[in-house]
Amino acid sequence: MFDKLEDLQKRLEEVMNELSEPDVVNDQTRFRKLMKEQTDLTPIVEKYKEYKEAKQTIEDSLEMLESESDEEMREMLKEELADAKTAVARCEEDLKILLLPKDPNDEKNVIVEIRAGAGGDEAALFAAEIYRMYKNYADSRRWKTEFIDVNESGIGGFKEASFMINGQGAWSRLKYESGVHRVQRIPATESGGRIHTSTVTVAIMPEAEEVDVQLDMNDCRFDVFRASGNGGQCVNTTDSAVRLTHIPTGIVISCQDEKSQLKNKDKALKVLRARLYELEQAKAHDAEAELRKSQIGTGDRAEKIRTYNFPQGRVTDHRIKLTLHRLEGILNGDIDEIIDSLIAADQAAKLSKLQEMEG
């Protein structure tokens, strides 16, 4: 591990030297590549420097203890030594996590699809609440959300909705949200006061670039139709909505959020690329079934991942056995604690798997 860290430290110095060259900004592709490499390497190298400083403190303290006779000074050195040993242990753990293989999609934007499952109108109402949860979370991180398509129910709910979240690191934070979200509460329409259980399915997909997915436009059929629902003036007066059918897979995507047919077509293609990319990723995951078992779920739409229980005001994430009694805040978009816990659990599982393989 430490040979690798020395190499990474040297590489960061090389990157910094290249970035200081006056003509580097003239080649934007090279400049962006170097900037990304600098961003990736800096936290690892900073932590490695912290580790080396703590190791040096241990050496210095031990050396000084051998020659120091003053008792008060010896106590200070012992304290310094203990702190440095703790710092070394902490840095070693942090470095192991920082050196874990990076998810290549982590910095990508995401496409989110929410569908009402079991529970009829109640499920549709909860689907709209789940949409608002992610919208508020995106706003809190200064990410941009834009609708792709929405199929509303008559009482203010969503039968299904798809939208994009554009922002650096969106996939790294939201990739754990795919799966079945379950709500337990008394519906407003329930006169007997009985608790109902409804479900909503969430799919989170990284936005795929053209280089990620080879798409043959001859496999795509576009139909245009008149948009319906909310969209402002003029939205219903032109054939601006687009339905894209991918013939080999049978995937159908509708997009009617934009007034421009061209913009709707562009959004539909983004969703198709993401869906095809997700299919490729699923095949790769199946081929690495053992590795997948050691990771926190990030893609199975049938996996029941979380329960939102209104009578008890609690939210439980079943994958990591985490229960929080602040339902209202979570539904308002305050989900960082859940996401941080999922990331920590995923890193711990990957570390454990890595140690097994090395052992």
Together in a domain, 94 and 119: no
Together in a domain, 69 and 136: no
CATH label of the domain that carries residue 64: 1.20.58
Together in a domain, 156 and 237: yes
Together in a domain, 61 and 131: no
Which pLDDT score is estimated for 322?
95
Together in a domain, 172 and 205: yes
Q: Which domain holds residue 161?
A: 110-348
Which pLDDT score is estimated for 289?
52
The reply to whether 358 falls in a domain is no
Token digits for 24?
């580097």
Which pLDDT score is estimated for 351?
84
Together in a domain, 93 and 48: yes
Structural domain ending residue among the three candidates 98, 132, 165: 98
Query: DSSP secondary structure string, 104-138?
Result: TTTTS-EEEEEEE-TTHHHHHHHHHHHHHHHHHHH
| Rg, C-alpha atoms of the chain | 26
The reply to whether 105 falls in a domain is no
The reply to whether 357 falls in a domain is no
Q: Mind listing the pLDDT tens digit for each residue in 44-62?
A: 999 999 999 999 999 999 9
pTM equals: 0.73
Which pLDDT score is estimated for 292?
44
Contact (CB, 8 A) for 315 and 306 = yes
Q: Which residues of the chain have pLDDT under 50?
A: 230-237, 290-295, 298-299
Which pLDDT score is estimated for 356?
73
Helix (H, G, I), strand (E, B) or coil at 196: strand
CATH label of the domain that carries residue 184: 3.30.70.1660
Number of domains in the chain: 2
Together in a domain, 68 and 153: no
Q: Mind listing the pLDDT tens digit for each residue in 93-109?
A: 889 888 888 888 888 99
The reply to whether 354 falls in a domain is no
Which pLDDT score is estimated for 295?
46
Which pLDDT score is estimated for 235?
42
Together in a domain, 161 and 306: yes
Structural domain ending residue among the three candidates 98, 125, 160: 98
